[in-house]
Structure formats: structure tokens, C-alpha cells
Chains A and B, each alone.
Chain A
Amino acid sequence: MSSSLIDVSNLEIAFGGGSVRAVRGVSFSLGQEKLGIVGESGSGKSTVGRAIMRLLPPTAMVSAERMSFRDVDLLKVDEREMMTIRGRRIGLILQDPKYSLNPVMRIGEQIAETYRLHYPKASAKQAHGQTLEMLDAVKIREVERVARLYPHEISGGMGQRVMIAMMLIAEPEVLIADEPTSALDVTVRLEILALLDELVARRNLGLIFISHDLNLVRNFCDRVLIMYAGRVVEVLEARDLDKARHPYTQGLLASLPSIDDPPARLPILKRDPSWLDGKILERTR
């Protein structure tokens, strides 16, 4: 991967004055691909995403051999320069649109506000035009009408489309999606994924897709990092997930209930202390 967008090497993140090591020695690089980060609650997957965006609270102790976005060193860059990257060049989509949208502002205004923040010279009219175009790109019908609605007047699926529109309007190079579909119903989930897929392909984005849902990542991503207790335990191509060698990955896959051939009892994950420090299993083509 010669043209990597994000490069992370040996990332360590600790809280509580170093007593809680939330992320331990995580390394990966992201090209123009869809990279999934999977793990259970507390495995540190969201913390990695937030570290890249430099959105961790000041109490977090972040260190790494390397954490860069293109030629920008994310460890050293000051807050002023970060403002030109965050949202503008790296976008973040969060789980629940209900909490991410401003409840007392019309949807169109919120998207236009984002646009004008990143393109201060743009006129109101330009921003409005871009907004409608973006809403159209995320497949919202009757864009004029929807732009005038407030967040409580739209459904969860539409809310997430709006969030995606808002993130993409600044034309970022990398998108970090933190559980973007967990709050949505299955049928809506597939629509949002198809949309993300299309947008990522068309705009040549790098996507980091953080999720606890193995099935989803297997369908959607190119490559997957499996995290356990703050470490990456396995890296593999999404289509090879069935051939996972790490017992943790295998255990997670086995514990999923299935419609087609349900076992009498679901196998239960037996956690092995050696997973905490074992070696990283890697399989790439």
C-alpha cells in the first residue's frame, strides 16, 4: 500500500494517569479501502477512531511510534491545523443521528453551516445549492422539503443519510464511521450500507468502519482488524473471516445465532488470558 492515507504504528492510549491501558500497541495503515475494526464493547475500537480525530479528552495519554494522515503527523499537529483536518479532510459519522444532529435547527441549515465552515468564502446561495445536491447524493427524495424539516421530523434511516451528507459535503479523504448503522433496523441498515459503499467507491475515500457486528463487516469491508482488550489480535481479508485462526474471532463468529441452522445451544466464548498478549495473526493476500 504505497499511497496509505492513515498510518498508525504502535498506538498506545491510557486513561486514569496510565492505570487503564485502553489501547495497546495498535498498528495499521489505511489505503483507499474499507477497513473494518471489530470488537466487543470496551475493546478500544472507538478510542482508536477518536484518537485519529484527536477527539479524546485531555486526560487520555496518547503515544505512538507513528500516527499520520497523509503527510500530517497527527501526534504533533496543533489544534489550529487540526481544525482544518477534522471534518474537512477526515469525517466522522457516529452511531445515533438523534444525538448528533442539532434538534432546534433545520436540516438544510445544519448541512449548509458545515459547508460554510469549511468553505468560508462560499455564499449562502452556494451553500444551499450544495446542500440540496448532497441530500440528493444520499438518495433523499424531495430534497427541498426535507431540507426544511427538523431532526425530530425524520426517521432514523433518513437521519443517518443526513449525517452522511453533512460529513461528505466537505469532501473529506477519509471517513471514520463509528457504528453508523447500529441504531437502525435491518432493512434500513442495508440501504445505508449500500449508500456508503457507493459513495466511498465514487469518491475514492478511505473508510474506517468501526462495528461490533461481524456479519455486517464481513459483507461490507475489504479488510478487518479484530480487537480484543485494547489489542489487535487478528487481521484478515473480510471474505476470509470464516477462515479466521484466532480463537477469539472464531468464538465471536460461533456465538452468532443463525436463522438457517441453529445449534441447540450457542457456543460460549471461553476467554483465554493468553489472548491479552499473544501474537497478532495476520493473513493478507
Chain B
Amino acid sequence: MIEIDNLTIRFAAGQRPVVRNISFGVEKGAAFGLVGESGCGKSTVLRAISGLNPNYQGSIELDGDILDRRRDRPFFRRVQMVFQDPYGSLHPRKTIRSQLKEPLRNQGLATGSMDVDALLRSVGLDPSLSYRFPHQLSGGQRQRVAIARALVLNPAVLLLDEPTSALDVSVQAEILNLLDDLRRERGLTYLLVSHDLAVVSHMCSRVAIMEAGEIVEQVNIERLRKGEVEHPYSQRLLRASRTYGKQREVVA
């Protein structure tokens, strides 16, 4: 569904590259994870794919077509993005109902026949919330709205940038379950960026581990669970993420 070939990304033309020569592919209907620590370039990759940063070399292929540097309208019917902080990504002074219609307006489509209530129910929200403003919702509810908005145009691909990092673990569990269900029901393809290896291994079947702008290793989740990672950085990351849930000796 997505093929990234030899992608190098800069923040501006002529500047030092922040992501260097990365390649990976995501199958249709699969969930692929990009993990790494802050500053490794994982979100930058998502932003390049979504068209937010056109300063890249190499090719980004969607369903067999190589994308133009400038994304056209139909692109956004196929690919949508969910950001980390639903506070920042929702308009503070528009009602939920009006924001959910925005993708249709952007595409020049009629909004009259849109069933906002059904959409809200599909992400587990009560339709009566649709006349509220974002500040009248909890963090988890806001993230559900952001997911609903990404689904309005019936895209094939969702780009998820740390979708649960701003949430409590109990709410994170609800959102991860929701994303999982939606992927199955709608046959969506996910590209999930996270710093949390546990979240990625819960959601994805394959993961690329990034360090300092490069993919150091790609591995299937089963192998990751068995600890079969080769690159020293992947081993370190896996060890740190595991330590974290287990024996106290390692920390002390």
C-alpha cells in the first residue's frame, strides 16, 4: 500500500538531511510501526508522506502510484493523519459537528447528507457530544473526535503520530482497542509512529526501528518479542522498554 524508497528528508532545501536513505513498505490492511527516541526523525517521515514537508528526495508510492511532491485533493481522500495532541489538532472555537464536516468542505463535497451521529457512534462517542466544543471534552474523547475526523473521507491509510502519548494508560487502552477494531472493520492500513515499543508491538505486525535519522533495523513483531533483534541500538531499546515493566534490580 505504501512503498518508501530511499527517502531523504530535509527541513529546508540545502539544509542537512534529518532523515537519510530510508526504505520500507507497508502491506494493504497491515499496521506498521516506526519507533525511536525523540529527534530520530520518525514524525518527520510521517510529515513527508502526508505532504506537510515537500523537501524530500526519493520516492513515496501509494497503492502503486508515485506521489507528486505537491499532494492533490484526491490524495487526502486516501490518506489521513491523526496527531498526538488532540488539543492542538482540533479547532477550539468550532463545534465538533462543524469540524467533522470540514474534510468534506475541503474536498468541495456536499455536507448536507453527512451522518455525523453514525460517525460519532462508530468511534464510541455519544452523538449528543456533537454540539460541544473541544474544551468540553476529555482528552480521550477529543482523540476519538480526531480519529472520527480522519475517517470522514473513508481513507485507505491512516498516519498515526503518537496517537496515545498524551493519554492516561486506561484511556490509551480504549483508544488502541478502537484503532484496532477500525482497522479490521474497514480494512485500513496504519503507519503508526510511537516512542513506546509496547504500544507498537501491541498494534503492529512489523516495526522499523529508527535512530538518528536512519532505520537501523526492520523486524516482524514475533521476532521482536523473542528478542531476536540484531542491531545494538534495537537491543538497547528493547532492553530498556522491558526493564521498565519487570525486575527492579536492573534499575537500582
Contact of A214 among B169, B224, B238 (CB under 8 A): B169
Instruction: Provide the residues of chain A in CB contact with B202, threshold 8 Å.
Output: 257-258, 262, 266
Interface residues of B in 226-252 (CB under 8 A from A): 236-238, 240-246, 248, 250-252
Whether B238 pairs with A267 at a CB distance below 8 angstroms is no
Cβ of A219: which chain B residues have Cβ within 8 Å of it? 243-244, 246, 248, 250-252
Contact indicator B38/A187 (Cβ below 8 Å)? no
B interface majority secondary structure: helix
Cross-chain contact B197 with A259 (CB below 8 angstroms): yes
Complex: A190 Cα to B243 Cα, angstroms: 9
Select the stretch in A8-16, A109-117, A248-256, A275-283 that faces chain B.
A248-256
CB pair B38 A190 closer than 8 Å: no
Q: B248 touching A218 by the CB < 8 A rule? A: yes
Contact indicator A40/B168 (Cβ below 8 Å): yes
- When distances are taken between beta carbons in the complex, the residues of chain B under 8 Å from A156 are 38
Cβ-defined contact, B168 with A187, below 8 A: no
Within 8 A of B (CB), among A210-231: 212-216, 218-220
Check A255–B169 contact: CB distance below 8 A: yes
Q: Which of B170, B172, B199 has the largest count of A CB atoms less than 10 A from its CB?
A: B170
Q: Which residues of B contact A213 (CB under 8 A)?
A: 169
Complex Cα distance A259/B197, Å?
A: 7
Query: What is the CA–CA distance of A216 and B244 in the complex, to the nearest angstrom?
Result: 6
Number of A residues, CB within 8 Å of B: 36
Query: Which residues of A have CB within 8 Å of B171?
Result: 40
Q: Is B65 part of the binding interface, using a Cβ–Cβ cutoff of 8 Å? A: no
| Chain A residues, Cβ within 8 Å of B237 | 186-187
The interface residues of chain B lying within 8 Å CB-to-CB of A55 are none
Interface size on B, residues (CB 8 A): 36
B177 is an interface residue with CB less than 8 A from chain A: yes
CB pair A266 B242 closer than 8 Å = no
Q: Give Cα A41–Cα B87 distance, bound, in whole angstroms.
A: 15
Which residues of chain A have C-beta atoms less than 8 A from B169's C-beta? 40, 212-214, 252, 255-256
Q: How far is the CB of A258 from chain B (nearest CB, A)?
A: 6
List A contacts of B37 (CB < 8 A).
185-188
Binary contact track B184-200/A, C-beta < 8 Å → 1, others 0 = 00000000000111110
Q: Which of A186, A188, A197, A268 has the most CB of B within 10 A?
A: A186
Q: For residue B126, which residues in chain A have a CB less than 8 angstroms away from its CB? A: none
In chain A, residues 139-188, which have Cβ atoms closer than 8 Å to a Cβ of chain B? Answer: 156, 185-188
Cβ contacts under 8 Å, B198 to chain A = 256-259
Cβ-based interface call for B174 (8 A): yes
Query: Bound complex: CA of A185 vs CA of B236, how far in Å?
Result: 12
Q: Tell me the complex Cα distance, A22–B252, Å.
A: 34
Would you call A265 an interface residue if the criterion is a C-beta within 8 Å of the partner chain's C-beta atoms? yes
Chain A residues closer than 8 Å to B251, beta-carbon distance:
190, 193-194, 197, 219-220
Q: How far is the CB of B23 from chain A (nearest CB, A)?
A: 25
Q: Are B225 and A259 in contact (CB under 8 A)?
A: yes
A269 within 8 A of B: yes
Q: Which residues of B contact A267 (CB under 8 A)?
A: 173
Q: Does A70 contact B (CB under 8 A)?
A: no
Closest partner residue, chain B, to A264 (CB atom): B180
Q: List 6 A-B contacts (CB under 8 A).
A: A188-B37, A190-B244, A197-B251, A255-B172, A256-B198, A259-B245
Residues of A at the B interface (CB closer than 8 Å) are: 40-41, 156, 185-190, 193-194, 197, 212-216, 218-220, 238-239, 251-252, 255-260, 262, 265-269
